[in-house]
Structure 1
Amino acid sequence: MLKKQQLQDIKKLQKECEVHDDIQLKLNWNMLENRESDHLDFLYYENDTLIAFLGLYPFGSTVEVCGMVKPSERRKGHFYHLFQEGMVVAKQCQYKKILLNTPAASRAAKKLLFKIGANYSFSEHQMVWQRSLVEPIEGITLRQAEVDDLDMSIRISIEAFGMAREDATSMERSFQKERQTEMFMIDVDEKTVGKIRVSRKEREAWIYGFSILPEHQGQGIGRKVLCQVIKEQSSAGYSVHLEVETKNDQALGLYKAVGFNVVHSQDYYTYLL
């Protein structure tokens, strides 16, 4: 578990890097603040000042890696040393896939990833809802997920995302531990057809894991769900955000249709131990 001061230092360094580089880093704060140990986080200090940080974020058998270095202390090998430490832990944990993420606009990060032998895999857009009107919603029910919904939630991840059962089970159990996050099951005619997570912090509501069973896709359910979530969160005073892979044309079209616009993009690179 990271200490309160360490979390504050990470936030301070993140803000400094984002302002200096005009980017937005993806540090998965829900996971950082809910760590049960500190073996996945690597911090380098000089004179009580955080100089570099690297975090590992497991999603089943995949682990995402994101890091940053104080702008005035770059090109001194700080990130590379933390990365090497992180890869030792990744190997010990036997993760099957390693993904490094970086803001699409960060040329310096891409040069470093190329140097260590990482290969480009895919990109994600970060989107924010920017429309004022939401259409009426009928025919669906969003309800809080309960313990008895675990098997269905795992099934949806397997069928909608193509995940292995082991990964789906691991991820669902980890999501249950996150604070400030709610899981909703999507019911149509009293039958569960999908799920969606909403994480709220600092007046922002983020949508994650939005999925509909394949046999119920293409029926307008997704649009209704999005409209309902947008209406509830925006009415409560939250801006509404989500992430989507850039090659997912169907999802991109849906999000844009209900009023989401792209504000940032993240590139993902695979790394082989």
Structure 2
Amino acid sequence: MRTAKEKKMVTPQQLRDIEQLQNVCETHDHVQLKLNWEMLRDRGSDSLDFFHYENDELVAFLGLYAFGSTVEVCGMVHPSVRRKGHFHRLFRLGMEQVKRNGYKKILLNAPAGSAAAKGFLSKIGAAYAFSEHQMEWKETPLEEPDGILLRRATVEDYEMRVRLAVTAFGVDEEDARMMESKVMGDNTEIFMIVVNEGTVGKIRVSREEGQAWIYGFAILPEYRGKGIGGKVLRRVIQEQRSAGHSVHLEVEARNDHALRLYESVGFKAVHAQDYYIIAINQVFQ
């Protein structure tokens, strides 16, 4: 039996199927896929995941991950059934959903070392945009951070979080408001960075299967270059390591300042992801 179908929500069994297929693909291709598990496990009712089963086994998957008006796309196909058009069909279904939802920008994500992904991206006419390093903290002596406080974010911090998203990441205000209004899962915490009783930044920590991931780390422009970023990272590293978690993050490869900051406290690049862009009219031409 062969089916290509769109699902309203990801079930526990489908999550297990996705994980099994991910393990097969990563082992075969010697890569690491970025499937945004934090978002996969916390899907609402949006139709953002696409599956192809053969004999009750998931052999192709595509996921859409919305960040405001931008949508990231990532998927995979079992090595034994590649070059049969399965992923292309799922991709077309996904792009139809992108068109219906009115996303303005499409980012296609592929492991830097994946020849199969590069072949597909070239075939559809996607253009390279940028690369991102996945970094892991390696055992390094750390000074005790002082002069900062990390407190859990509250609803009163919403406007500051929007301001930080706009000034630090260059997103427009509408997207920032949409992203900052999302309810985070139980395994995610947002902390506000406080210096001299004033809020100057934010950082998000998500924990999954023994790993702590840092996201959305932002400091107001007027407070940068004062050593605050290093202190925040040391505090987060110490707390997460004490809780038994390894510590990870992602950073755009061309962001030299951020790379130097992360490397200075012991983070090392372990994987790379390449991002490509494509216009919706290219898909349906």
**Fold equivalence (TM over 0.5):** yes
Matches of 1:164 and 1:74 in 2, distance apart?
A: 39
Deviation of 1:167 (Å): 0.4
Q: Which runs of 5+ in 1 are unaligned?
A: none
Q: What's the counterpart of residue 61 of structure 1?
A: 69
Matches of 2:246 and 2:33 in 1, distance apart?
A: 18
Q: What's the counterpart of residue 283 of structure 2?
A: none
Q: What's the counterpart of residue 171 of structure 1?
A: 179
Q: What's the counterpart of residue 222 of structure 1?
A: 229
Please give the per-residue CA displacement for 1:198-217, whole angstroms capped at 9, x wherever unaligned.
Answer: 00011100000001011111
RMSD, aligned CA = 0.8
What aligned pairs does 1:225-240 form with structure 2 within 5 A after superposition? Answer: 225-240=232-247
Matches of 2:249 and 2:124 in 1, distance apart?
A: 30
Q: What's the counterpart of residue 141 of structure 1?
A: 149
1:50 aligns with 2:58: yes
What aligned pairs does 1:63-212 form with structure 2 within 5 A after superposition? Answer: 63-174=71-182, 176-212=183-219
Matches of 1:179 and 1:56 in 2, distance apart?
A: 21
Please give the per-residue CA displacement for 1:85-111, whole angstroms capped at 9, x wherever unaligned.
Answer: 000000010100000000001111111
Matches of 2:275 and 2:167 in 1, distance apart?
A: 24
With structure 2 as the length reference, what TM-score do the two structures score? 0.94
Q: What's the counterpart of residue 4 of structure 2?
A: none
Deviation of 1:35 (Å): 0.7
C-alpha contact 1:30 1:179 (8 A) present in aligned 2: no
Matches of 1:36 and 1:185 in 2, distance apart?
A: 26
Identical-residue share of aligned pairs (%): 62
Instruction: State the aligned residue count.
Output: 272
Q: What's the counterpart of residue 249 of structure 1?
A: 256
Deviation of 1:134 (Å): 1.5
Runs of 4+ in 1 over 3 A off after TM superposition: none
Deviation of 1:38 (Å): 5.0
With structure 1 as the length reference, what TM-score do the two structures score? 0.98
Deviation of 1:132 (Å): 3.5
What aligned pairs does 1:13-28 form with structure 2 within 5 A after superposition? Answer: 13-28=21-36
Please give the per-residue CA displacement for 1:81-140, whole angstroms capped at 9, x wherever unaligned.
Answer: 000000000001010000000000111111110100100000000000002422111000
C-alpha contact 1:187 1:194 (8 A) present in aligned 2: yes
Matches of 2:149 and 2:106 in 1, distance apart?
A: 37
C-alpha contact 2:132 2:250 (8 A) present in aligned 1: yes
Matches of 2:203 and 2:123 in 1, distance apart?
A: 38
Matches of 1:179 and 1:24 in 2, distance apart?
A: 25
C-alpha contact 1:2 1:38 (8 A) present in aligned 2: no
